[in-house]
Amino acid sequence: MTRHLQLTDNGRLKHFLTIEGLSQPLLTEILDTAASFADMSEHNVKKVPLLRGKTIINLFFENSTRTRTTFELAATRLSADVLNMNIATSATSKGESLLDTIRNLEAMHVDMFVVRHALSGAAHFIAQHTAPHISVINAGDGQHAHPTQAMLDMFTIRQHKKQFAGLKVAIVGDILHSRVARSQILALNTLGVDQIRVIAPKTLLPANVEDMGVIAFQDMAEGLSDVDVIIMLRLQKERMNSAFLPSESEYFRCFGLTEAKLKHAKSDVIVMHPGPINRGVEIASSVADGPQSVILQQVSNGIAVRMAIMSMTMHSAGDMA
The tens digit of pLDDT for each residue in 170-195 reads 999 999 999 999 999 999 999 999 99
Res 245 pLDDT > 90: no
Helix-strand-coil percent breakdown of the chain, rounded to 5? 45, 15, 35
Question: 264 with 314, same domain?
Answer: no
Which member of 116, 158, 168, 197 is catalytic?
116
Same domain, 168 and 225: yes
pLDDT of residue 95: 55
Provide the pLDDT confidence category of residue 206 given band limits of 50, 70 and 90: very high
Together in a domain, 186 and 310: no
Output 257 or 235, whichever has higher pLDDT. 257
Kindly state the percentage of the chain with pLDDT values over 70.
89
Query: Is residue 136 domain-shared with residue 152, that is, in the same domain?
Result: no
Under the banding of pLDDT at 50, 70 and 90, the label for residue 220 is: very high
177 is an active site residue: no
Q: Do 55 and 167 lie in a common domain?
A: no
Return d(Cα 316, Cα 9) in angstroms, integer.
10
b/e burial code for range 270-285 (CB count within 10 A of at least 16 → b): bbbbbbebbeebbbbe
Indicate the pLDDT class of residue 254, thresholds 50, 70 and 90.
Answer: very high
67 noted as active-site residue? yes
Same domain, 133 and 269: no
146 is catalytic: yes
**236 and 121 share a domain?**
no
- pLDDT of residue 68 exceeding 50: yes
Q: What is the pLDDT of residue 97?
A: 81
Is 318's pLDDT higher than 80?
Answer: no
Question: What is the pLDDT of the chain when averaged over all its residues?
Answer: 90
pLDDT band at 120 (very low <50, low <70, confident <90, very high): confident
Query: Does the active-site annotation cover 12?
Result: no
- Does one domain contain both 245 and 188? yes
**pLDDT > 80? residue 119:** yes
Report the sign of the C-alpha dihedral through residues 264, 203, 18, 60, in that order.
negative
**Is 32 in the same domain as 108?**
yes
Judge if 282 and 307 occupy the same domain: no
Give the mean model confidence (pLDDT) for residues 290-301: 96
CATH number at residue 50: 3.40.50.1370
Considering the domain architecture, whether residues 171 and 232 belong to the same structural domain is answered as yes
| Same structural domain, 257 and 306 | no
Tell me the residue range of the domain where 250 lies: 147-296
316 within 8 A of 30, measured Cβ to Cβ: no
Give CB contacts under 8 A, 24+ apart, made by 258-262: 258/284, 258/286, 258/287, 259/284, 259/286, 259/287, 259/290, 261/220, 261/221, 261/224, 262/224, 262/230, 262/287, 262/292
| Per-residue pLDDT at 118 | 86
Residue 241 CB contacts under 8 Å (≥ 6 apart), including other chains: none
Report yes or no on whether pTM surpasses 0.85. yes
Catalytic residue among 14, 146, 168, 182: 146
Q: Which of 2, 28, 33, 66 is catalytic?
A: 66
Give the whole-number percent of the chain exceeding pLDDT 90. Answer: 75
Query: Is 273 an active-site residue?
Result: no
pLDDT at 241 over 60: no
ω before 201 within 30° of 0 (cis)?
no
Residue 240 to residues 122, 253, 275, Cα–Cα distance (Å): 21, 20, 18
Domain count, the chain: 2
- The confidence band for 142, taking pLDDT boundaries of 50, 70 and 90, is confident
Residue of 14, 15, 54, 67 with catalytic role: 67
pLDDT value, residue 61 = 85
